[in-house]
């Protein structure tokens, strides 16, 4: 009996001795991973190897007030804690602390879902970037004067001019200003032309070539001290084509060397216009306020043919499948043979003059604004497919843009989106004031840019 008791006491002693040598026999976890990071129904992508987390949220979401739900591995803790509201307009660092005290940092980046972007300005001088799918505002930029110019997007930069006589270069994704330049009294109606590191833009008395990176003027060309270069310039094969609007002997269309600005030719015919030229078939096409519509030899500037019936043509032409399309002051849209100028068809809108809304062709359909109506016309036959009048008694000056079967146009104070095939309205976006002559430009989710007919980038 005593022997058993002694043995029991010895075992108890030995156990107690072992326990005192290892006060914590169970090791603490070193696990410190973020397994789930979400905003409501949106799950972010967690890169376990790179220790980064990326989330995309719908356009219009307030990035400065987001509260994520976070799940960590094991008994790890995260700071800031799950459910804490954070400003995700910039990257946020989350630190995970394991049970054993070791830590791991994760960098969280939140961006908008890229549905493409529509850009347009209004008479308040506000330049808008709007989600192309939903019509939600992404960002806006305030210029120093009204915006009636048409934007152009090239290589992630959007170029827009204002009545403050400045040309702006903005980051297309964020709206951040890259530079602004006021080299002279620039014209606030045109669209820029961009090629090989230079952006070309017209002024009251000069045409400017500006460095796309710095905004520095590389060259300027002047041939008249009275009249301005109002139409959008057009570029092709190292030559920039632009026109002076007025009545003197120096007005008309010029072909200038795109690198040096030296004159190659000037069209012999007096040509009073703010119609931006289009080029196809080695022919330059442009409208006139008093001389109808004209075609010029691209190499020499010699007149090839004139279509006088068109009357006043301030809108810019577009060329597609061997036909050139124009809007006219006599309430008609025309399709002409691009080589001969022979009329293929005419379409009477029955509205006020087709003054400034430039036509565009997409998938065999011509789109043009006239009076308060937007028309979709079969490009081959001239037969109306549909029309839309979302705002009665509101003249349409803006030109349409079609991107991926969706049409965008400014009417009154609103930017509209329509199904290009049917004319059904998809959404409308209310701006602060009338859009006037600014036509939209679209950058789709794949980075492809769609320009308006007034732009010299459209041929």
Distance CA 15, CA 278 (A): 96
- The DSSP 8-state label assigned to residue 356 in this structure reads S
Domains located in the chain, CATH noted: 34-112 (2.60.40.2340), 117-450 (2.130.10.10)
For CA atoms 426, 170, 237, 258, give the dihedral sign. positive
Q: What's residue 261's pLDDT?
A: 96
Ramachandran area for residue 350 (φ above 0: left; ψ -120 to 50: alpha; else beta): left
Q: What's residue 269's pLDDT?
A: 66
Of the CA atoms within 13 Å of residue 166, those in its CB half-sphere come to 15
- The DSSP 8-state label assigned to residue 9 in this structure reads H
Of the CA atoms within 13 Å of residue 136, those in its CB half-sphere come to 14
β-partners of residue 205 are none
β-partners of residue 366 are 361, 377
Q: What's residue 291's pLDDT?
A: 82
- Ranges in the chain, pLDDT < 50: 1-22
- Dihedral (Cα; 104, 107, 110, 111), 10-degree rounding: -150
Q: What's residue 357's pLDDT?
A: 85
Distance CA 317, CA 274 (A): 11
For CA atoms 144, 147, 153, 159, give the dihedral sign. negative
3-state secondary structure string, 107-165?
A: EEEEEECCCCEEEEECCCCEEEEEECCCCCEEEEEECCCCCCCECEEECCEEEEECCCC
pLDDT per residue as tens digits for the range 7-37: 444 444 444 444 444 455 578 999 999 999 9
C-alpha pair distances (Å), 236 with each of 242, 368, 457: 12, 25, 10
Q: Could you tell me if 132 and 153 are in contact, meaning their C-beta atoms sit under 8 angstroms apart?
A: no
pTM reported for the whole predicted model? 0.85
Beta strands in 315-354 (DSSP E): 318-320, 323-327, 332-337, 343-348
Distance CA 420, CA 273 (A): 30
């Amino acid at each position: 009996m005593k022997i058993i008791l002694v043995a029991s006491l010895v075992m108890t002693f030995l156990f107690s001795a072992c326990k005192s040598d290892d006060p914590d026999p169970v090791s603490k976890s070193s696990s410190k991973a973020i397994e789930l990071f979400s905003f409501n129904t949106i799950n972010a992508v967690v890169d376990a190897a790179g220790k980064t987390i990326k989330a995309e949220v719908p356009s219009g979401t307030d990035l400065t007030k987001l509260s994520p739900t976070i799940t960590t591995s094991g008994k790890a803790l995260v700071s800031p804690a799950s459910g804490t509201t954070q400003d995700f307009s910039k990257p946020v660092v989350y630190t995970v602390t394991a049970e054993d005290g070791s830590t791991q940092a994760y960098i969280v980046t939140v961006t908008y879902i890229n549905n493409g972007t529509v850009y347009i300005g209004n008479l308040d001088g506000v330049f808008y970037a709007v989600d192309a799918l939903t019509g939600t505002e992404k960002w806006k930029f305030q210029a120093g004067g009204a915006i009636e110019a048409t934007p152009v997007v090239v290589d992630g930069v959007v170029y827009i001019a204002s009545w403050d006589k400045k040309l702006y270069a903005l980051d297309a994704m964020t709206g951040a200003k890259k530079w602004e330049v006021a080299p002279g009294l620039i014209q606030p109606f045109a669209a820029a032309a961009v090629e090989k590191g230079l952006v070309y833009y017209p002024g009251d008395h000069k045409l400017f070539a500006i460095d796309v990176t710095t905004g520095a003027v590389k060259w300027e060309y002047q041939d008249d001290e009275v009249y301005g270069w109002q139409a959008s310039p057009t570029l092709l094969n190292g030559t920039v084509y632009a026109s002076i609007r007025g009545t003197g002997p120096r007005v008309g269309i010029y072909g200038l060397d795109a690198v040096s600005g030296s004159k190659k030719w000037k069209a012999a015919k007096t040509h009073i216009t703010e119609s931006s030229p289009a080029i196809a078939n080695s022919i330059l096409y442009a409208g006139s306020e008093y001389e109808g519509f004209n075609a010029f030899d691209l190499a020499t500037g010699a007149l090839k043919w004139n279509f006088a019936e068109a009357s006043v043509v301030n809108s810019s032409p577009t060329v597609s499948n061997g036909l050139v399309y124009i809007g006219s002051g006599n309430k008609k849209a025309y399709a002409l043979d691009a080589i001969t100028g022979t009329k293929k068809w005419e379409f009477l809108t029955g509205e006020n003059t087709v003054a400034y809304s430039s036509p565009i062709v997409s998938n065999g359909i011509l789109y043009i604004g006239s009076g308060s109506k937007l028309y979709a016309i079969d490009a081959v036959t001239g037969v109306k497919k549909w029309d839309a009048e979302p705002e009665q008694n509101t003249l349409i000056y803006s030109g349409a843009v079609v991107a991926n079967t969706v049409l965008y146009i400014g009417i009154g104070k609103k930017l509209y989106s329509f199904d290009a095939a049917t004319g059904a309205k998809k959404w409308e976006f209310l701006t602060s004031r009338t859009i006037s002559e600014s036509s939209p430009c679209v950058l789709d989710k794949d980075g492809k840019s769609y320009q308006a007919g007034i732009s010299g980038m459209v041929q």
